[in-house]
Structure 1
Amino acid sequence: MRYGIIGAGAMGYRYGVLLQEQAGVAVDFIETWDPNRKQVEEQGGVYVSRDHQHRHLVPIQIYTPEAYHGHPDVWIVFKKQMQLDAELERDAAADLFHPDQYVFSAMNGLGHFEKIARYFNPNQILAGTAMIATVLNGPGDVDFMGPERGEAMHMAPYNDQAPDETMEAIYADFQRATLGPEWSTNWLGMCLTKVAFNAVCNTLCTMFEINMGQFGSYPGAAAMAEQLFNEAHDAAARAGIKLLENRAQQVQSVLDSCVKLKYHYPSMYQDFSKGRPTEVDYINGYIARLGREHDYPCRTHEFVTHEVHLAEQMRSVKK
């Protein structure tokens, strides 16, 4: 099959390069950030490292939406939540979307699948979550964090149907690409499990401008994680959503990740440190809204959402 990547950022590069190099499938990249696209065109591909080592150039095909005339079987979407509406509108205006195409996304936060479903048949949407740490060093330069074949992800049909033949083929390609896929039968619980994880690691590391190892080394890290997970799980239970892991498992997942990825700065911190808006409204903010909708205020998530926005405001004031 042929894949099209919408968003040649850290995770877009990770999925696209691994599919191209490990699975041997054709991949095209759609990019609307001009500095990134132009850098790739000038250097003839994207520079790829793993844990800051073995930097090498991987040739790729990259296009603006308007310049692309291909017809991939599957779109893979990795955009920031705040940018997704404008991206999809531009891609649709460029006539990139067709009724026979499938789409997969493992973006951070929640709220994106409803937007994607405006353009694609819900029966042809695959939801995903990725426990895969990646850093975009700059235009045309990406760093895959973690050991080779250490990638892990979950995927599920958006409407919780049984996977069809095309979905099984996508799963097989992801396996060959060493992305470590696992099927789930509960797309919303799967995604909310990852949102709750990010609501701890991404947000707390951003608030204190630390990497995951520094957070994990704090004696109170488990207690902080437990408080945020308790609220997330209580809100989910009131909404009738079953998460893939229980509270204790999620706390342990955070502690394990802080060891495995101890030098990693989560994506929210990467955005914050570079002066970009964060996705906190789609992570802690999503949990807070879910709780409010079901008469369960998640006060810690509400508070840290405000804290991140305050830090963003003070950052701009300092400039």
Structure 2
Amino acid sequence: MRIGIMGAGGIGTVVGGLLSNAGHDITLIDQWPENVDKIKADGLIVEHRDTEVLTHPKAIHLHKLQLETEPFDAAFIAVKSYDTEWATTMMLRYVDPDHGVFVDFQNGINDQRMADIAGVERSLACIITISAACYEPGRGVRTDVNSPGFKIAEHDGSDTARARELVEVMNAVEATEFSDDLWGERWSKLMVNCMNNALSGVSGYGTAKVRTEADTRRIGIQLGAEVARVAKAHGKELHSVLGLSPEMVIDAAEGRNVEEVEAALLETARKAGPGGVPSFGQDVRKGRRTEIDFLNGYVSDMGREKGVPTPFNDKIVEIIHDLGIEFKGDKKHVQPLIDMLP
């Protein structure tokens, strides 16, 4: 399969490298010059725990996309949420107009924004459950052991040949499933992101520490419960996440079965390993703009639509907006959220 991956960050490099290694025709398109140049010169190393594989996908700078004359069978949109529109627009003329597809490979719920540009009739989604990072040029790192690693879905939930083909393609990276419920899957993943990502950014903690430290673990439960309540108000049927049903997270936020939920979160911290940092935390460490308005901010907005209170999500959005860009993660930034805990 000939695939153009727009965005060679953590997910883009891990997916692109392993698909290339499996024999697919992969082109990574990225705006980080040193990353592209390193891959072109020396190949792309994909690291997972104690193993490394040297892969050789094609890598090009954004301004070199104009030189691509053979259309892609698929465009994977793997950029930050705030870059969705321009990245999709840029790929339009380079994807096969008759049979080519666009696949949303992002955190947050950006599928409709991508489909508004590419056309819903050729838009699919990939819900990502692995964790990955790109800390240095030419090296993608997978930081978890989750399986299945991906779920492929059509917007309307239909079971199509093209969705099944993508499942087979992505099996080369990690076990992949077909899902007939894109929106339930997206909201379930959003729940995980909202419980962990922004907390990692403001505190400076990695994925595991957010869940092992008592204060941030308890805040995460409150954040997740608010996501679940908002999703239910909008008629979304959430799936179990982190080994927990959404009802269990809501119960824990309200003081019921807290020990069981905390034990499950501690187990996910153990599996995450010490080196994992969610994408939001990576952005803060790199002094980059964050996706707060597309994660916790999205929940706050959707909660207001249905009159569902989201005080913890509102507060973490406020904290990050006040800190701006290029702040350093520090436990002191979390104190206002600690003060809100019941």
TM-score range, shorter chain: 0.7 to 0.9
The letter of the residue matching 2:246 is R
User: Given the alignment of the two structures, is residue 9 of structure 1 paired with residue 12 of structure 2, yes or no?
Assistant: no
Instruction: Rate the CA distance shift 1:114–1:184 in 2: closer, same or farther, 3 A.
Output: same
In the TM superposition, what whole-angstrom CA distance separates every residue of 1:259-300 from its partner, at most 9, and x where no partner exists?
Answer: 111311111010011100111111101111110111113111
> Distance between the aligned counterparts of 1:86 and 1:126, measured in 2?
18
Q: Which residue of 2 aligns with 1:225?
A: 220
- Which structure 2 residue ranges, 5 or more long, are not aligned? 250-260, 329-342
RMSD: 2.3
Count of residues paired in the alignment: 308
Task: Tell me, in whole angstroms, the C-alpha distance in 1 between the residues paired with 2:278 and 2:24.
Answer: 29
Question: Which residues in structure 2 correspond to 1:78-227 (within 5 Å)?
Answer: 78-92=78-92, 95-96=94-95, 98-110=97-109, 112-147=110-145, 150=147, 152-160=149-157, 162-175=158-171, 177-227=172-222
Q: Given the alignment of the two structures, is residue 278 of structure 1 paired with residue 277 of structure 2, yes or no?
A: no
Summarize deviations over 1:30-62 as a string: whole Å, max 9, x none.
22333322222233x2122223x4445321212
Report the Cα distance in structure 1 between the residues aligned to 2:315 and 2:207, rounded to whole angstroms. 21
Aligned to 2:236: 241
Q: Structure 1 residues 222, 72: CA separation in 2 closer, same or farther (over 3 Å shift)?
A: same
1:124 & 1:189 partners in 2: Cα distance?
A: 20
Deviations 1:187-233 (A, max 9, x none): 11110111111111111111110112222222345432321122111
Which 10-residue stretch deviates more, 255-264 or 265-274?
255-264
Q: Shift of residue 76 of structure 1?
A: 1.4
Question: TM-score of the superposition, structure 2-length normalised?
Answer: 0.82
Given the two structures, how large is their TM-score scaled by the length of structure 1? 0.88
Alignment deviations for residues 151-186 of structure 1 (CA, whole Å, 9 cap, x no partner): 5222211122x22112211111222x1422122221
Q: Which amino acid aligns with 1:277?
A: R
2:298 corresponds to 1:303: no
Q: 1:33-72 maps to which residues of 2 (within 5 A)? A: 33-43=32-42, 45-51=43-49, 53-63=50-60, 64-72=64-72
Letter in 1 for 2:41: E
Residues 151 and 178, structure 1, Cα contact 8 Å, conserved in 2: no
Task: Supply the AA of the counterpart residue of 2:143.
Answer: M
* SS across alignment from 2:27: strand
* Contact 1:6 1:79 survives alignment (8 Å): yes
- Residue number in structure 1 paired with 2:273: 262
Tell me how far apart the structure 2 counterparts of residues 49 and 97 of structure 1 sit (CA, whole Å): 32
* Secondary structure of the structure 1 residue equivalent to 2:118: coil
Partners of 2:124 and 2:285 in 1: CA distance: 31
Q: State the Cα distance separating 1:249 from its structure 2 match.
A: 5.7
Structure 1: unaligned runs, 5 residues or longer: none
Residue identity opposite 1:87 in structure 2:
A
2:17, 2:45 within 8 Å by CA — same for their partners in 1? no
Q: What code does the residue aligned with 1:85 have?
A: E
Q: Distance in 1 between matches of 2:265 and 2:124?
A: 25
